[in-house]
Amino acid sequence: MLAKLLLASVVLADTAVRAESVDYFTDNGFGNPLSTIHHPSGEHFKDSTYIAYQGPHEDAYVCAYNQASKKWSGPVLAGVSPMGKTPDPVDNNEVDNHGKPAMMVDSKGYIHVAFGAHGGNPMLGKNAFGTPAGFGRGGKLTHLVSKNPEDISSWKVLDNISPFGTYPQFVQMDDGDIYLFYRHGSHQSDWVYQKSSDDGRTFAPPVSVLKHKVQANGTLHDAWYAWFAKGRGDTITASYIYHPCSYPGHTKARLNVYYMKMNCADDSWENAAGEKLTMSVTKEYADQETLIFKSGDKRCNHGTCRVDQEGHPHVLFRYGAGQARYTRWTGSAWTEPVAVISDGSYGGQDGDMIVDSPTNVRMVLMRNIDGRNEVGWWNTTDGGKTWAKETPLLSRPGGGFEIGALIENYTPEGMVVVSEGRVPEHLYRKMYLLGKDGPVQRPAEEASHIQKQLEILKKSGDKPTPKTDRAAKKANKGDDE
Ligand code: ZN
């Protein structure tokens, strides 16, 4: 009888858990909680996948999923953003969104997060790599580290990197060296890296790799958006696009695609053909030495870059309204860029890829189509000429999804993190960890975290701006300075 009762309660409990499981791990992503250019946003270390994202008040939050026990932990508030507002805005135009975290796990298992800045501000000192800081909302690039290895419950600040950073990107090498790349200030600044050989406890001073400068005509300001990742062996790839900004002021223009590679043995750089580069790279030098694709007057935006067994780069960039395009270096030339999705949808695409061989590539892409957002894999077996679609991992009505770069050391169960689109009432967003079979589940009562925020909003009486106003405002504002 007892056994029967026990069995019945086990079955009941199991049914209840399954019935109450949801496919998101938290609902407290905020604004644009993650992006491919703040990366990695997750890393798998030993049994656990660690994820960092922007939560309420633009603060850095961390969750962890233990794949052995199938248990989630977090969200934990890891660090408070100087750019956050109280109460949380309900209009995304009032959220800076540049201070999103990048994260990594060092060789000893400590978790690092860099977040909280859009170029700093003049109170923090003189920015040697950019125009006077303070454009946007300033903030301060902040380096957090977990107090204990493999433990997200407590954090401290390590005051050892420049405060003038945005778009932080961690690249960790096989020997444990860490390169933290970022733009050293607002949009009119150099892209730099700081190197650490002691698990992020100290960093060497910033080194410039892409140079900002005012053109001779005095009105055009050369600037860049760049993406850095580990290449084959002891190398780092850089894929980037040109931002012809105005001086003074800002434009939304973005053009062309470029590539170069760093040899970490001596921190020298070369172009795709293997010719050594003199650093730091200016616009004229980039056009001459590192150009992949000249877009004319058509918009071109940054994407991601991964390498094959030969070390040859495969580059994803976004063309026009955000159409994912692909090109690869054959060893002697770049292939003609191809639209990955050829069914007529052309916008809102972004993602990352796994290069299995020079001809076989799997690309995980987010896209907008027919009033919904879709995330799924597109595969090529002919070197990128044609791409076949797999069944989507996630498909939801509405728009405004965000996707991160692939999780570092991903496993089939947890490969990429995405956030769901906005609802009309507020900017809190559900966050999903997607594996090869779709979203990782979590018990519903563990995944709800915005009750307090919703009550604060209700009390403040703040109402969202009507959609049409919001769209008009968005069109008038540089969304990505
Ligand atoms: Zn600009």
Q: What is the pLDDT of residues 151-210, one digit of tens each?
A: 999 999 999 999 999 999 999 999 999 999 999 998 899 999 999 999 999 999 999 999
Q: For 23-480, CATH number?
A: 2.130.10.150
Ligand 1 centroid–CA 252 distance in Å is: 7
pLDDT-above-90 percentage for the chain: 80
Q: Is the pLDDT of residue 37 over 50?
A: yes
Ligand 1 centroid–CA 475 distance in Å is: 15
CB 127 within 8 A of CB 164: yes
Report the 10 Å Cβ neighbour count for 85.
13
pLDDT for the residue numbered 478: 35
Report the 10 Å Cβ neighbour count for 32.
25
Hey, which residues are catalytic here? 98, 167
Residues 440, 442, 446, 450, Cα dihedral to 10°:
50
Ligand 1 centroid–CA 185 distance in Å is: 11
CB 45 within 8 A of CB 109: yes
Q: What is the pLDDT of residues 335-389, one digit of tens each?
A: 999 999 988 777 889 999 999 999 999 999 999 998 899 999 999 999 999 999 9
Q: What percent helix, strand, coil does the chain show, rounded to 5?
A: 10, 45, 45
Q: Where are the alpha helices (DSSP H) in 55-150?
A: none
Span 102-119, average pLDDT? 96
pLDDT for the residue numbered 479: 45
Report the 10 Å Cβ neighbour count for 310.
12
Ligand 1 centroid–CA 203 distance in Å is: 28
